[in-house]
Amino acid sequence: MTTIMTTYPQDLTDEIDLAHEARANTEAFGELYRRHVTRVYRYHMAHTGNVKDAEDLTSQTFMAALEGIRSFRGTGSFAAWLLGIAARKKAMFFRSGRLRDEIPIEAANQIPSPNLGTDQLANQRLRLESITHALKQISPERADAIALCFFSELTYAEAGLVLNKSEAAAKMLVSRGLQDLRERTSLVFEVEL
């Protein structure tokens, strides 16, 4: 069963305060990094299917965030702002045509969930492999919406901010993208829209 996160992982006010503190305090930025590195990595992994590229793009995303932290206004979540940077880095990467030879997708879970058993991790890896392959076959906008909501665990509203769409439009992209995925994979998706 796959669900989309509908609440923030930490208190939104705490994140905004932490982001403002990160302008002058590298330890505060380090905490933001720890909170969001997995979601950024999974976002890039979902699009590239390549560990090395996902790692490079994750690094580039955080470097750009550190350099541009003063531009974070706090009008939305820090996660949405950060994934906006990740989306721009991904777009630049694909425009440059620097794709590497693919490394097996099993490596995508180098940052495993500590709460999952071995059989659950194996199942998660198989699903990730199938989904990543299928994401490359659907419209880029729908694939991006799915990656933002599932892999990066953004809410529809946050994904809408990253995609420059309304919350309803982000929901529709995810819904239609999931339908496309259902037609291309044997996976069953249970999503609360």
More confident call, 55 vs 132: 55
More confident call, 88 vs 97: 88
CA 97, CA 93: separation in Å to the nearest integer? 7
- Tokens 């990656």 sit at which residue? 147
Domain ranges for the chain: 12-184
- Tokens 């794709």 sit at which residue? 99
Q: Is the pTM of this model over 0.75?
A: no
More confident call, 51 vs 4: 51
More confident call, 5 vs 40: 40
Lowest mean pLDDT among 55-69, 81-95, 122-136, 137-151: 122-136
What are the tens digits of pLDDT across the range 164-176?
A: 999 999 999 999 9
Count of CB atoms situated within 10 Å of the CB of 168? 11
3-state secondary structure the chain: CCCCCCCCCCCHHHHHHHHHHCCCCHHHHHHHHHHHHHHHHHHHHHHHCCHHHHHHHHHHHHHHHHHCHHHCCCCCCHHHHHHHHHHHHHHHHHHHCCCCCCCCHHHHHCCCCCCCCHHHHHHHHHHHHHHHHHHCCCCHHHHHHHHHHHHCCCCHHHHHHHHCCCHHHHHHHHHHHHHHHHHHCCCCCCCCC
CA 44, CA 56: separation in Å to the nearest integer? 9
